Amino acid sequence: MTATGPRNAPDVVDVVALGESMVALLPSRPGRLADVPSFDRGIGGAESNVACALAAAGHTARWISRVGTDGFGDHLVETVGSYGVDVTSVRRDPARPTGVYFRTAGDRATEAHEVAYYRAGSAASAMSVDTVGLDAVRAGRVLHLTGITAALSVDCLRLLRELTAPRPARPLVSFDVNHRPRLWTDGNSPQVLLELARGADLVFVGEDEAAEVWGLDGADAVRTAFPEPVVLVVKQGALGATVFDGGSVLHVPAPRVDVVAAVGAGDAFAAGFLSATLRGLPVRDRLRHGHLMAAAALTVPGDLAVPPSRDHADRLAALDDTAWGRLRLGPGWTQAPAAPEEVRTP
């Protein structure tokens, strides 16, 4: 499947990403939130992460959301815009604040990791079919959504149902399940996320995530539960990813990565896969570009990383299976020399 759509129509971009971004308060040192004396300011948001990564990779991208009429909202819009993302459709809400969250410095996978969200009643939770510009939302070759937005409010869920409903000439709808258990207080996440995924054209889901949400065991079981999307990508962590494209199936292993921080990889993978989809690359290379963009995120401390140049990524994606299997990527690899045989352990 290749993304299609009017390339030269006014206001049309490669990708539109809709969803909440928040200001992230990141600890100045390891430890419990109760013990950390100060925090550095960053941003966090699955959809804006994808938009920023795609813009950095040379695509036209638009982020659509709502933020408060406050300094945190200013910071979000300015920071996302600094990546080259179109933020002109982000609306300001004078009655609701921009969401913020605090987290500890440790690996998110450990029990010691803490996250404190202050997003209830945020400006983004007021997104609805009436408070976002639907023409701008639909003016992309790809519309990227996640399950996070569906959990923010009843109006946000109605908006996602509208955007995933069948309609003539809609964009290619990309949906990342992105299950966040803390947001789903009503226990409806399995049914809602399954419904939204079945309405999409391209779905990203983690194999472990599918087991947690639906009790599905393995990629084939996920495909059986998700027969409608033309393309289904099942992410399998360090083992790689499996893509179901129509009636075909392909597994591509991930390269070995010297991980600096296990954050942002899922959004980066989606961006890499979408970038290759927009370029009409073969399915194998779409998965490899997803793995490479994820490796860029894994080898830096934060959620967002400078991606490899397009030529660099293309050379690596074109390696034969043996050379790809030997590939090992560490900090600084995106700036490594161009020769593919030299790009192993920078």
Residues forming the active site? 267
Provide CB contacts within 8 A for 170, sequence distance 6+: 138, 143
Q: CA–CA separation, 252 vs 166, rounded Å? A: 31
Q: Which residues does residue 304 pair with via DSSP β-bridges, in sequence order?
A: none
Q: CA–CA separation, 87 vs 132, rounded Å? A: 13
Helix (H) or strand (E) holding 257: strand 256-257
**Overall residue count recorded for the chain in this entry:** 346
| DSSP designation for 6 | -
Q: CA–CA separation, 163 vs 235, rounded Å? A: 24
Closest listed residue to residue 164, CA positions, set 177, 145, 140, 190: 145
Evaluate whether 47 touches 152 at the Cβ level (below 8 Å).
no
Edge-to-edge strand list for the sheet holding 39-44: 39-44, 22-27, 100-103, 115-118
Q: CA–CA separation, 46 vs 36, rounded Å? A: 25
Evaluate whether 148 touches 17 at the Cβ level (below 8 Å).
no
